[in-house]
Amino acid sequence: MEKIKVLIIDDSAVMRKFLTDTLSRSPRIEVVGTAIDPFIAVNKIKALKPDVLTLDVEMPRMDGLTFLSKLMIASPMPVIMVSTLTVQGADVTLKALHLGAVDFMLKPAIDNEKEVQDFSRLIMEKVFMASQVKMSGRLAAPMLEVEEKFSADVILAKRDPLKTKVRSEQIVAIGASTGGTEVIDEILVSLPDSVPGIVITQHMPEKFTEAFANRVNTKTKILVREGKHGDRLYRGMALIAPGGRHMLLRADSNGYYIEVNDGPPVNRHKPSVDVLFRSVSQAAGRAATGILCTGMGNDGAAGLLEMKDAGAYTVGQNEASCIVYGMPREAMKLGATCEERNIGGIIDFIKNIK
């Protein structure tokens, strides 16, 4: 089996060495080179023909976003962004995913042994995954200023579900991981403000989920926000599980609301899709629809089966439209999905839920 060739682009000598040493421990990965900025990287990409790039978000001379947008037009290839756990880092990383990056990693604290171990394991998995992604059809998105000009009109026209408080008898639960931010964005932007309440778990760290919710909310007819403990769920709104916390659906005589807790990771994730789906099966039963989208691993498969067993209709994203057909595949193996659909089919299905 040929090794996966990786080029590391980072202006920090410490991070370049750390990434090189980490990835080189895998017998399936070869770090073919490093670059301190995009200008040097361009020549190395031509000479070394890497399979996967790791790209720092913040660099001198040319930032990671500008380089990524040019790369995806000139020579599309799988890119894993390496980011920091800051509000600015979250916003830039989300823009990078929009421009075509397949995934991202948070830089660990080098002196924190657990962070280093978790990072080392996960980045190897993500490099393997990225090397399998077919870049054909994944062209760079338009630069984001156009999107922001469009959003103002949408915000003015948006109905506020918290004022109208139309009780949602039906619930839509969505789970996703790698590649999921763009899928969820596409789904939510396409929905009318009359849709049932939506609960979402997308594997992301803290700060990132709030930035993601706020970003999507500028473009949708429905209200989209990061879920807070005790939030009520009404028609025309979507709540996204906060990074670093589990989100669960609960019900009482007044309808549905969410619980946010600090339990241990499930399937190595917090928030976990399984945790959300399991709670939906218990709180909503046959009044729910479960949708499991693109992602690496098996989180959500067992929970989707519980939803199906409780009478919910369950949908998996089909392989052709997934960045990573991992989580939906595991659900299909378990018999947890009633059917599979592409993104357009998922949107049409949600629109028809009354």
Pick the catalytic residue: 37, 51, 56, 299?
299
253 part of the active site: no
274 part of the active site: no
Pick the catalytic residue: 177, 279, 281, 321?
177
Instruction: Give the pLDDT confidence of 184-213 residue by residue, as tens digits.
Output: 999 999 999 999 999 999 999 999 999 999
Cα 92 from Cα 108, distance rounded (Å): 18
pLDDT band of 146, cuts 50, 70, 90: very low
Contact by Cβ (8 Å): 175, 292:
yes
Instruction: Give the pLDDT confidence of 305-354 residue by residue, as tens digits.
Output: 999 999 999 999 999 999 999 999 999 999 999 999 999 999 999 999 98
321 part of the active site: no
Pick the catalytic residue: 83, 131, 193, 203?
203
Per-residue pLDDT at 157: 59
Which residues, in sequence order, are CB contacts of 276 under 8 Å at separation 6+?
173, 175, 199, 201, 241, 246, 247, 248, 249, 303
Cα 308 from Cα 288, distance rounded (Å): 9
Instruction: Give the pLDDT confidence of 253-285 residue by residue, as tens digits.
Output: 999 999 999 999 999 999 999 999 999 999 999
